[in-house]
Amino acid sequence: MSPVPRYRQLAAILRKAIEVGECPPGSRLPSEKTLTQTYGVARETASKAMDALAADALAVMVPGVGWHVPPEVTGES
């Protein structure tokens, strides 16, 4: 009994992958279907994980395309 829900665990894995640089800014993230196959989770779980990342502005969704890492937001002028 893990106190941490699976969708949060999956979100943590993806967050790590983004921060480490495996998924550079602007790149596409794995589709929810791929996540279900790769991590053996239900679509619901994969979707909630992505929502968690989106809440932290680590992922954005483009209709008909999929999830992406948002482009670098440089605060420089």
Measure the CA–CA gap between 1 and 74, rounded to whole angstroms.
Answer: 41
- By the rule CB under 7 A, 13 interacts with DNA: no
Q: Which residue among 34, 38, 55, 71 contacts DNA (CB under 7 A)?
A: 34
Task: Say how far apart CA 72 and CA 68 lie, in whole Å.
Answer: 12
For the bound state, the minimum distance from the C-beta of residue 9 to DNA, rounded and expressed in Å, comes to 7
Nearer to DNA, 5 or 25 (CB): 5
Under 8 Å CB-to-CB from 45, ≥6 apart: which residues? 6, 7, 10, 36
Which residues sit at the interface with DNA, rule CB under 7 A? 1-2, 5-9, 29-34, 36, 40-45, 47-48, 50-51, 61-67
